[in-house]
Amino acid sequence: MTPLDGSSTDTTVTGVPRPGGTGALAGTTISRIGYGAMQLERLHGDRSAAIALLRLAVELGVDHIDTAQFYGDGFVNGLIRDALRPADGVLVVSKVGADPNPGGRIPLRAAQRPEQLRASVENNLTSLGVDQIPVVNLRRLDTGPGLRAEGDQAVGIDDQLAVMTAMRDEGKIGAIGLSSVTLDGLRRAIPVGIVCVQNAYSLVARADEDMLGLCLSEGIPWVPYFPLGGAFPGLPKVTDEPAVHAAAQSLGSTPSQVGLAWLLHHAPNVLLIPGTADPDHPSGERRRGHARTRRRDAGHTRRRPDALGGCAARLIYATSARQATPAHPARNNCYRDISASSYNEVTMTLNDAESRRTSGELTTNLGLSGLTTSEVAGDLRFTLERLQSALAVADGADPVDVWELRDYLEQAARDAGMQPAGYTVLTDRSRHLARTWLRLRKAPRHVFATS
């Protein structure tokens, strides 16, 4: 299986540094930040601008484009056909499972039956002008916002996978992905060979965390749609979170930028496909690892587009986007409750007094457990140096280690027949908020000898 971090190639086939770093999809090395083409429907009246935008994306290092026949009833696929060249080395991913519904209350209608899936693949082949689509996502309608399958559209996933694998065997599609799928559905599908999963997921909508974990363990890329949440009225938006605004301000970034960077940092199998239909939105200077927004073209300078409309993340096309993730404030200081009331709380930093108090509480519970540091380090699989750093809540301690140690010692003290000391900073509420930023681990449990 292809490693999730791809190959050692840090540039595209055209020699451009990869935005977001290097990833892999369907055995192909790609940039972790691609382009979602759905919004190109908005440029129906300006085809040349849409094609220019696609060309610009390629020039900026995008080599993964997500599309569908139902984006503009073939209009977007036609743009991709006319804009891209084989030498660009772009991996095109399409999807099936819905059809256009012109004039309907909702612009899409379910198309889940096997014969409809086949017809949609044929339509994609025609509009893209290719003999094979590298990856086709089967869009189930089981979960996430949007359509639901009813009546004869409620088709079992096994029947759908049968026609998808048949088309793969026929050479019409190169590989199969899944979208809007449940955890059970993914488990049923894995044996046929699934190369990616697209589900709605963001910092504020993380119901599929278990599925992300399964994808990570199976080597399947996770390609979230609605990565900033809020696609429909009433759904939470990343950009409405006070803590995200505060983190963006402290980092010199935008809230959208923080939301997308968090996804890249959250798991190594995440690939992003943000989209835009605005080729003229100025981005300004890139600071703190962001690239300058210029390219040379016929003797003048053209500006790079911001993605996701006017409130876009400037990092999405930054060639050094890995430096732009909020890794340091998020991972190194994520102990405190999140609040916009003070800078320390915004950046989740413990002051010296809080660090000393937390270290004292951890040390007290270590004493109550009766365990030695060697026993604790062995259970947690820490080196002694790493354990001492977490126990002291040192400046360089990983907050994930500190949280794991906290839970381990609390349970160990209880198992030793003692009442564990309470935690005044690492509270249950703090844990809930910390999970917004960190992938906290479940602590192991020490096995005490029985007499």
Helix (H, G, I), strand (E, B) or coil at 178: strand
**pLDDT tens readout for residues 49-69:** 999 999 999 999 999 999 999
Q: Which CATH superfamily is domain 22-325 in?
A: NADP-dependent oxidoreductase domain (3.20.20.100)
**pLDDT tens readout for residues 147-183:** 888 899 999 999 999 999 999 999 999 999 999 999 9
Q: What is the mean pLDDT of the chain?
A: 81
Check if the beta carbon of residue 46 is closer than 8 Å to that of residue 3: no
**pLDDT tens readout for residues 68-86:** 999 999 999 999 999 999 9
Cα–Cα distance between 223 and 211 in angstroms, integer? 12
Cα–Cα distance between 312 and 263 in angstroms, integer? 15
Distances (CA, A) of 103 to 106, 107, 108, 233: 8, 7, 10, 21
The model's pTM is 0.66
Q: Kindly list the catalytic residues.
A: 71
Distances (CA, A) of 353 to 249, 336, 405: 26, 13, 19
Of 98 and 315, the structure prediction assigns the larger pLDDT to: 98
Neighbours of 332 (CB within 10 A): 16
Q: Where are the domains of the chain?
A: 22-325, 343-437
